[in-house]
Structures are given as structure tokens and as C-alpha cells.
Amino acid sequence: MKLRNLPRVSTWVPLAVFALLAVVPFVANALDQSFYIAFFARILIYAIAASALNLVLGYGGMVSFGHALFFGLGAYCVSLPAFYGISSGWVHLAFCLGVCAAVALVIGAISLRTSGIAFIMITLAFAQMGYFLVVSLKQYGGDDGMTIAQASRFGPLDLGSPERIYAVAFGVLALTTWWLARLRTATFGMVLRGAKTNARRVNAVGLPVLRYQLAAYVISGMVCGLAGMLLANLNAFSSPSTLSWTVSGELIVMVVLGGMGSVFGPVLGALAFLGGEEILKAYTEHWMVIFGPLILLMSLAGKKGIVGLLQKLDHGRPQSLQDDAIATGRVEQRIQKEVA
């Protein structure tokens, strides 16, 4: 086989990861290790949330430090209806998407009038407001959180077992990743990426950048809320800690670690972050002392994170086979030609 017919490393490695994730439940059941199903289901859920953040952070260059708000809202959109005896998953889903869309629309309309540090601080402030609001609701558990007695039920399918949640989360992550891949070269994605480079030039040709950014922020909030809904069913519990700023920070680290603006970056970042954390916890209680420098070294090793390191392995191949089709530079060049 000629070299030019071989798949790129930056393509087949993420696809191999997806293939391995698809067989995790079967292997775990064969080994009678149900813990790994719940653990990898958590990784899938965080990968969905990181992918949602990647839409605004990686594609649009909007550093949102408040996406934990949508993550937590999605969780409480399960526990609150369940508190009143409503177990319909369709109600939970509609409640989750509606609330997250409305909140994201308000926050985005206000935050996007700013940029840089101001945008970061405003999104963080809104997330902290949501956190303290949930903590103050003593009738709904307050700081102790809420136990979910009834899992979301979609007709004959309910999310009461880790296996079912794993299957749903895997499907949602696969669809989200596929959609992000299509979005990279779609008009919507091109405008976002062009605005990240030079918003004034994009506005100059009559494209309303603010509307595109607001739409991306709302979609991102809804997808992140969906991840929170799955997490609540997995844990059978919703906690105010889900809305904490530390969760927002973890999602940002996952995106940066995997590769901002890349298709598979959030998935690889979530796997590396949560997997590395779990491995180090098994060896020492001072795992954070080791984990922090490791993340720093991995970030310094490649500006595009894990995906960037994989793309470097493609550089030894013929120029025509380099990962130009998905590289940030080519996309930005195309949008710059259109707005020039």
C-alpha cells in the first residue's frame, strides 16, 4: 500500500478512540466491572459539555467561564420535575432545552456586548448568580442537592441504568461530533471562525457577527444543558456544585487540552483529563500536585493540544496528505478571502 493511501494519524486515532468507547459496556460486563460503565459514561457526558463549549470557545473565540450554569441547569431540569412526580423524559428534555435556551439568550445578549476579560467576568458572574440561587432554595435541598427518585423515562426506555445512559450519551456525543465536523466548513461555522480572526471585516461585508455569535452561544448552552440532564440521571442526584465555577474551569481545560477549535479535541481532552485524574487518584492522595504540571506540560507541548500533537505526526508525510482540510489556517484563509 502506498503511503498516500494510508489514513492520517490525526484522523484514525480519534476514530479508534470512538471505536473503543463503543465496546466499553460489553468488555466491562464480560469482566463483571460495572464501575467502568459509569466512569466512561461520565467521560462521555463531560465530552458532550466540552464539545458545546468548543463551539463558542474554539470556533468563535468567546471565552465563556460560565458554562457550568447550563450544565447545572440541565441537571436540575430533571430533579425539579421528578420532585413533583413527573418522570416523563420528554418533559425533562423540553424543560431542559427551553430553560437553557432562554437563559443563554439573555446572558448572551448582555455578555456579547463586551469582549475579552469583560466577557469572561460577566459569564462567570451569571454562573455564580445561578449557583447561589440554587443554594438558597432550601425547599429543593439547597446546598445538599436533590436526590432523583425517578429517572427520565422516554416511553419504554428509561435512563435508570448506567448501560442505557452510556448508550444515549455515546449517541449524543457521536451526533454532536459529526455536527461540529460539518459546521467547520458550513457558512455558519465560517462566519464564527472569521469573526474570531477579524470581526470588523466580517461585519463590513454585511454579515451580522453578533447574531451568529448569539445563536452559537444559545446552541452551546442547550447542548451543555443536555449533558447536565444525562449527568443527573447517571448520578440520580443533582447538586449545586455542578454550577460551580470550578466545573467551568474544568470544561475549559478539557477543550484546551484536547485542542481548541478541532472536531475531536473535546473528546480527547475529556478522556485525558478525567482518565488521568482517575489513574493518579489510584496511586496517591496528592494527585493534584502531579496532575497540574502534567496538564501544563501537555499544553506547552502543542498549541493545539492533543489534536495538535497528532497533526504533527502527519507532517512527515507528503504535503498533499497533511491535515490541511481541517486545519484552522485553511478555514481562516477561506473566510478572509470572502470578506476581503
CA gap 178, 216 in Å, rounded: 16
pLDDT score for 7: 63
Q: What pLDDT shows up at residue 320? A: 35
Q: What is the CA radius of gyration of the chain?
A: 20
Backbone angles phi, psi at 253, to 5 degrees: -60, -40
Q: Look at residue 88 and give its three-state secondary structure.
A: strand
Asked if residue 236 lies in contact with residue 78, where contact means CB atoms within 8 angstroms, the answer is no
Buried/exposed 308-336: b ≥16 CB within 10 Å, e otherwise:
bbbbeebeeeeeeeebeebbbeebbeebe
**Contact at 8 Å (CB) between 326 and 262?**
yes
Q: Kindly state whether residue 48 falls inside one of the protein's structural domains.
A: yes
Grid coordinates representing 25 are 459496556
The H-or-E segment that residue 26 falls in is helix 9-30
Q: Considering the domain boundaries, does residue 266 fall inside one?
A: no
Residue (of 248, 253, 247, 290) closest to 268 by Cα position: 253
Instruction: Please report the pLDDT score of residue 322 as a whole number.
Output: 40
Check residue 71 and give its pLDDT: 95
Q: How far apart are the first and last CA of the chain?
A: 42
**Does residue 309 lie in a domain region?**
no
Is residue 168 in a domain? yes
pLDDT tens-digit profile, the chain (340 residues): 444 555 677 778 888 999 999 999 999 989 888 889 999 999 999 999 999 999 999 898 899 899 999 999 999 999 999 999 898 999 999 999 999 999 999 999 999 988 888 999 999 999 999 999 999 988 888 888 888 888 889 988 888 889 999 999 999 999 999 999 998 888 888 888 888 887 888 877 778 888 999 999 999 999 999 999 999 999 988 989 899 999 999 999 999 988 888 889 999 999 999 988 888 888 877 778 887 787 777 766 656 788 888 887 776 544 333 433 343 344 445 555 554 5
Non-local CB neighbours of 283 within 8 Å, separated by 6+ positions: none
**Per the domain annotation, does 316 fall within a domain?**
no
User: Exposed, middle or buried: residue 90 (CB in 10 Å: 0-12, 13-18, 19+)?
Assistant: exposed
Can you give the residue range of the structural domain that contains 125? 11-246
Residue 338 lies in a domain: no
User: Which helix H or strand E contains 285, and what residues bound it?
Assistant: none
Cut 0.85: pTM above it: yes
- Residue 210's φ and ψ, nearest 5 degrees, are -60, -40
Number of independent structural domains in the chain: 1
CB of 339 within 8 A of CB of 206?
Answer: no
User: Hey, is 286 helix, strand or coil?
Assistant: coil
In a domain? residue 256: no
Domain-embedded: residue 260 = no
Per-residue model confidence (pLDDT) at position 206:
78
